[in-house]
Amino acid sequence: MAKPSRGRSSSRTASNSVLDKFLLCSCRLFRKFFQGLLCLSALVLGYRLSGEAVFFLGASSRGALFLRRTNSNSLRTDGIDVALKFPYVTEATRGKQAGLQQSLPEGKSTRVHVGRHEILIRPQPHPDPVQIMKAHNLLNIVQRQQTLLYDSDEQKQQLLIITPTFARTFQALHLTCLIHTLRNVPFPLTWIVVEADGLSNETADLLAHSQLPFHHLTFSERMPAPFDQRWQLEIRLRIEGLRFIRTNRLDGIVLFVDDSNTYSLDFFKEAQRTKWMGGFSIGLLPDFGGEEGKSSTIMPVLHLQGPVCDASGQISGWYTPFKVRNDLHISDQSALDWAGFSLNAKLLWEGFESPAGFIKWNRLFQEKPNLFVSPLNFVRNYTLVQPLGDCGCSILLWRSRVEARADSKFPSRWEINPGLEIVVPSKRTPWVDHHLQRHRSTRHSDLTDLNQKHRGRVRRKLKVPV
């Protein structure tokens, strides 16, 4: 509620009796006299006392004057307010004060009055970390309740996440990030990890510490070294995952999550909207040796791949920076990344009556088993794919095939045992280190020996804490 800036000195006083005027005049005279007295005392005692006293005498405003009048019972002990000895009582206000006292219930008094109040500041006005933590917890609880109340209409289906992987230098990097992403997904999920080249300790170790429900499947074939030949085996690994879902009749929404991709949590929320088959937009970060060479000079190179909708929201095609043939059903589906599709697991089940336009699993493998290169094989007509993520306009995942050189080495399970060699010693002292001397038989030759040693690289085995 704003106040007009009219200044505080504008209003007239409320009463008009002669007694009033007399009191007012005597007030002013007395005040002047008192001020003079305090001036003199200030010369003797100091400035501060006189300053406070002048303030007490209403250097500010009539607010202090009215203090007495409005509150007859209470007395403020803290703050700078001080009651004056001259109650400004008039005919009008005397009646009101009497009325006021009558209306106050027994034993109750108002603590509130007009006038200057102290601005209370606690001694350490910094944020208290304990309270901040409590506030944070409250925010969490409120938000959880909100999702319970308002998101309950949306389905919370299980997510079946198929990840093809194999042991390599960058696997720990990719899988660690993926594990943390999946742990933050607020839906129930089952992680199906299909590993090439048999079961490795690295993958098993990472999965065991992931705190996620997973199935670790193995494939005997080895992942080829050249990057451009890997995609075919990856597809077979994914099909292996699909076969696992079919055999065990797992229910939910199938997502193809490669270990090197990065996901926004909205992706998983959006995937819940999949009815039978959904398509997402992917951000394709340029890969250093992934599915190569298909960059086109004709189409504009925007590193995205995803469904494109027409005005009514129906899917009308795909955008991809790779060169594709017009007839999408045949061989160039491999240009479309599996990660941009989601499937309803029921389509894989044996004996399930697929809706019109969707091809059954048996038929896919009967016709031409090697033709299964893309989830689009499941549909006769690509218009049956549901464009998700705001009709393909939101990029909810990114693909980046970052890998180390084929000949790079890494310690098994990234554990350092035995210890590493010293490249940079922690001490370089010109004097003899008695600690090192213990191993030497003679003493006088130490200095020369040590000097020679320190000039080059000292090979010592030290235990590096893992």
Partner 1 sequence: MTMLKIALSAHILGFFQASLLLSCYASSTSQERISGSAGDVLEDDPVGRLKVFVYRLPARYNKRVLEKDQRCLTHMFATEIFVHQFLLKSPVRTLNPDEADWFYTPVYTTCDLTPNGLPLPFKSPRMMRSAIQYISTRWPYWNMTEGANHFFVVPHDFGACFHYQEENAIARGILPLLRRTTLVQTFGQRYHVCLKEGSIIVPPYAPPQKMETHLIPPDTPRSIFVYFRGLFYDKGNDPEGGYYARGARAAVWENFKDNPYFDISTDHPATYYEDMQRAIFCLCPLGWAPWSPRLVEGVIFGCIPVIIADDIVLPFADAIPWEEIGVFVEEKDVPNLDAILASIPPETILRKQRLLANPAMKQAMLFPQPAQSGDAFHQILNGLARKLPHDKSVFLQPGQTFLNWTEGPPGDLKPW
Footprint on this chain of partner 1 (rule: CB under 8 A): 1-5, 7-8, 11-16, 60, 62-63, 66, 69-70, 80, 92-93, 96, 100, 103-104, 108-112, 114-122, 125-128, 131-132, 134-139, 141-143, 145-152
Residue with Cβ nearer partner 1 (64 or 324): 64
Between 93 and 210, whose beta carbon lies closer to partner 1? 93
> At its nearest, how many Å lie between partner 1 and the CB of residue 72?
11
Six-digit token pair at 280?
A: 């997402």
Sheet containing 281-284: give its strands across. 262-263, 395-399, 281-284, 304-309, 315-319
With respect to partner 1, which residue has the nearer C-beta, 136 or 222? 136
Cβ-based nearer residue to partner 1, 94 or 209: 94
Q: Is 399 helix (H, G, I), strand (E, B) or coil?
A: strand
Compute the least distance from the CB of residue 356 to partner 1, in Å: 34
Residue in the block written with tokens 């005027």: 21
Task: Tell me whether residue 148 or residue 356 sits nearer to partner 1 (CB atom).
Answer: 148
**Is the distance from CB of 303 to CB of 397 less than 8 angstroms?**
no
DSSP of 25-87: HHHHHHHHHHHHHHHHHHHHH-HHHHHHHHIIIIIS-THHHHHHHH-SS----SSS----S--
Peptide bond into 418 cis (omega under 30): yes
- Least distance in Å: CB of 162 to partner 1? 30
CB 339 within 8 A of CB 382: no
Taking the complex as a whole, the smallest distance from the CB of residue 87 to partner 1 amounts, in Å, to 13
Return the DSSP state at 443: S
| Contact between residue 257 and residue 178 where contact means Cβ atoms under 8 Å apart | yes
Q: Which is nearer to partner 1, 134 or 461 (CB)?
A: 134
Least Å distance, CB 119 to partner 1, is: 4
Which residues lie closer than 8 Å to 69 by C-beta, 6 or more apart?
87, 88, 89, 93, 97
Least separation in angstroms between residue 395's CB and partner 1 is: 22
Q: Is the dihedral of CA 68, 70, 75, 80 positive or negative?
A: negative
Using CA atoms, how far apart are residues 8 and 314, in angstroms rounded to an integer? 68
CB of 65 to partner 1, least distance (A): 8
Other Cβ atoms within 10 Å of 405 Cβ, number = 9
The least distance separating partner 1 from the CB of residue 394, rounded to whole angstroms, comes to 17
Give the nearest distance from C-beta 366 to partner 1 in angstroms: 46
The whole-angstrom separation of Cα 39 and Cα 47 is 9
Contacts 24+ apart (CB under 8 A), 20-25: 20/88, 20/90, 23/86, 23/88
Of 100 and 204, the one with the shorter C-beta distance to partner 1 is: 100
**Chain mean position to CA 46:** 59
Residue 183 DSSP symbol: H
**What's the rounded Cα separation, in Å, for the pair 423 and 464?**
13
Show the CA angle centred on residue 264, arms to residues 263 and 269, nearest 5°. Answer: 110
* Cα separation, 297 vs 91, whole angstroms: 97
Q: Which is nearer to partner 1, 153 or 415 (CB)?
A: 153
267: left (phi over 0), alpha (psi -120 to 50) or beta: alpha
Q: Which is nearer to partner 1, 150 or 431 (CB)?
A: 150
> What is the maximum span of the chain, computed from C-alpha positions, in angstroms?
116
